[in-house]
Amino acid sequence: MTSNIKGELTDFVPPKVMGILNITPDSFYEGSRKQTEKEIAERVVQIVEEGAGIIDVGGYSSRPSAAYVDEIEEMKRLTYGLEVLFREAPDAVVSVDTFRSETARRCVENFGVAIINDISAGALDGHMFETVARLQVPYIAMHMQGSPQTMMEHTDYADLMREILMYFAEKVNLLHQAGVNDVWIDPGFGFSKTTAQNYRILDRLEEFHIFGLPLLAGFSRKTMIREVLATSAAESLNGTTGLNMFALTKGAHILRVHDVKEAVQTVRLYQQIKNANQ
């Protein structure tokens, strides 16, 4: 399995680690919030030195009930962050976490961003698919119902896995029809799902391989860990590492994380297991 990233065919052996860079004042994990030039620069250097293959930059917190941020403010934050990022790591592979097509366009054309990561899979901006097709960059389609402000009101499913798989079948078909060649899928842990539903999806994660597309897993320090372990986001690294390893055994190709070093080590151990009898 390969994906065209910045003109080069990239495979997912070993699985990729995507390091999170939040240019936001209100992300759910306080330790991930980077506001000043110094904080952003230090975080970029850390992500690169610890071995992440991708840096995922967000200017709009998508935590449950997050405050609405307009397009001007989102782009202002991203511009500030991307300028620092590419100054510190000019060759970095960068994805931008946005559901707005104009923001996506400006980040790719003005800064050379390589991947678009859309929590709404086009549902919040009807021009997203055609825009990404023109940009010819990989596109991460995530499962969510509603918006960050309303998503936890939409956790009722008659058949959880069937509905999510059908959702991706439709989205992937529409993306390919629009001319998007490289589609990655993200089940959206924590988005429009209860803790029990998150674990049901994780237990059946291999079913998403039916699409033959790169599969991203992102549950770093999320509520699904904190509720089970009765702990805080700051104390959820161990739980995150455990779930990362489980996701790898289920065939995840990309881990989206706050803690890059630990995720990279987890991938290394997973590869050692995979290669043990070869």
Query: What average pLDDT does the structure give for the chain?
Result: 93
Each residue of 43-99: pLDDT tens digit? Answer: 999 999 999 999 999 988 776 666 788 999 999 999 999 999 999 999 999 999 999
- pLDDT surpassing 70 at residue 32: no
Catalytic residue among 256, 261, 268, 274: 256
- pLDDT surpassing 90 at residue 13: yes
Catalytic residue among 34, 193, 222, 226: 222
For position 193, what pLDDT does the model report?
96
d(CA 119, CA 190): 11
- The enclosing H or E element of 33 equals none
d(CA 154, CA 2): 34
Which of the two residues, 151 and 139, has the higher pLDDT score?
139
d(CA 164, CA 157): 9
Going by pLDDT thresholds of 50, 70 and 90, the confidence category of residue 220 is very high
Cβ atoms of 238 and 263 within 8 Å: the answer is: no
For position 69, what pLDDT does the model report?
85
Name the β-bridge partners of 65: none
pTM of the model: 0.94
CATH topology of domain 2-272: TIM Barrel (3.20.20)
For position 152, what pLDDT does the model report?
82
For position 23, what pLDDT does the model report?
87
Q: What single-letter DSSP state applies at residue 215?
A: B
d(CA 216, CA 206): 12
Domain boundaries, the chain: 2-272
- Any residues with CB less than 8 A from the CB of 227 and at least 6 apart, and which? 195
Catalytic site includes residue 261: no
Q: Amino acid identity of 278?
A: Q
Each residue of 33-43: pLDDT tens digit? Answer: 556 889 899 99
For position 67, what pLDDT does the model report?
75
- pLDDT surpassing 90 at residue 241: yes
Strand duo 2-5 + 8-11: pairing:
antiparallel
- The enclosing H or E element of 17 equals strand 16-22
Cβ atoms of 141 and 175 within 8 Å: the answer is: yes
Each residue of 147-157: pLDDT tens digit? Answer: 887 888 889 99
Catalytic site includes residue 256: yes
